[in-house]
Structure 1
Amino acid sequence: MSLNVGDIAPNFELPDTELKLRTLDEFKGKKIVLTFIVAASSPVCETELCTLRDSWQEIADTGAQIVAISNDGPFANKAFAEKHNFNFPLLGDYNSKTISDYDILMKDLLHIKDYNAAKRSVFIITEDGKIGYKWVSEDPLKEPNYEEIKNFLK
């Protein structure tokens, strides 16, 4: 089932880097920039999350919260987040359930059988819990359009 703009965003319950379970519902009432990355510490994911970190104040000024999800476990995510001082939650979807719920599962990454990851994606969830913006890339090396994201939030 493909999600589209206007659909209710699927809820999730995923561990953050401190092993605290976080849900989409806890961020309700504000816009959420929900970004799915392919793999913690990979070069393009590093660039993407560092760009979002560096844009955090501009994004926060629109009343939005950034939440990042990878299919890595909380320990790999913690090392990645600490190395780059991320100022937003990085959640681990190690069984790819949420990634599947958002219909962005990329099977056999780098042609490695059963190495599944998220397609690089950004969903902006509006205050009412609906998807207001959706960008999904079939190319794991392609970054999102950061200006487009910021303009949508304004």
Structure 2
Amino acid sequence: MSQPQLNKKAPNFKLPATGDQTLSLADFKGKNLVIYFYPKDNTPGCTTEGQDFRDHYKQFQKHNTDILGVSRDSVRTHENFRKKHEFPFDLLSDADEEMCKAFDVIKLKKLYGREYMGIERSTFLIDSQGKLKQEWRKVKVKGHVEEVLETVKAL
């Protein structure tokens, strides 16, 4: 699977999302878009990352930027996660890993000596023209959202 390339058109997607909707890249035409991939709803790192994006959401909005979170969890699980933490942005359900594969975030992971394929925490910034402007892979949660926001401000 080839990785998306900087300054090239971002991979298209069309997935079920919170709010009983289906969202695609075209829905964000004319806006910048931050897409962050995370392993699982209601886990400590994923919750903290979502809360950080929530807490900075208004600043992203000031810079014509929307945010989407993506994991393999169901829309129902996403709805509960979103409501519990008051996320003002939508979460996409990629149960078939189509979008995860298009962005090349499914990686071999290890936990307690067990190997499995899972989502590598990654974030992508797509500009208002639909081009991939920046990517962050193997993301560490602490300080990440602030770094993404600074990059958005520089667009």
Superposition TM-score, scaled by structure 2 size: 0.89
Q: Paired residue for 2:150?
A: 151
Q: How many residues align?
A: 149
Give 1:86-101 correspondences, 5 Å limit.
86-101=87-102
Percent identity of paired positions between Structure 1 and Structure 2: 30
Could you give the per-residue CA deviations for residues 66-98 of structure 1, whole angstroms, max 9, x where no partner exists?
Answer: 111111111111111110011001010011110
Give 1:92-131 correspondences, 5 Å limit.
92-107=93-108, 110=111, 111=114, 113=116, 116-131=117-132
Could you give the per-residue CA deviations for residues 44-77 of structure 1, whole angstroms, max 9, x where no partner exists?
Answer: 0000010000000111101100111111111111
Aligned amino acid, residue 128 of structure 1: Q
2:107 and 2:76 map into 1 onto residues whose CA distance is: 22
1:153 and 1:83 map into 2 onto residues whose CA distance is: 27
Over the residues paired in the alignment, what is the CA RMSD in angstroms? 1.6
**2:62 maps to 1:61:** yes
2:118 and 2:72 map into 1 onto residues whose CA distance is: 6
Question: Are the equivalent residues in 2 in contact too, given 1:4–1:134 (CA < 8 A)?
Answer: no
Q: CA deviation at 1:146?
A: 2.1
Superposition TM-score, scaled by structure 1 size: 0.90
1:109 and 1:30 map into 2 onto residues whose CA distance is: 37
Gaps (5+ residues) in structure 1?
Answer: none
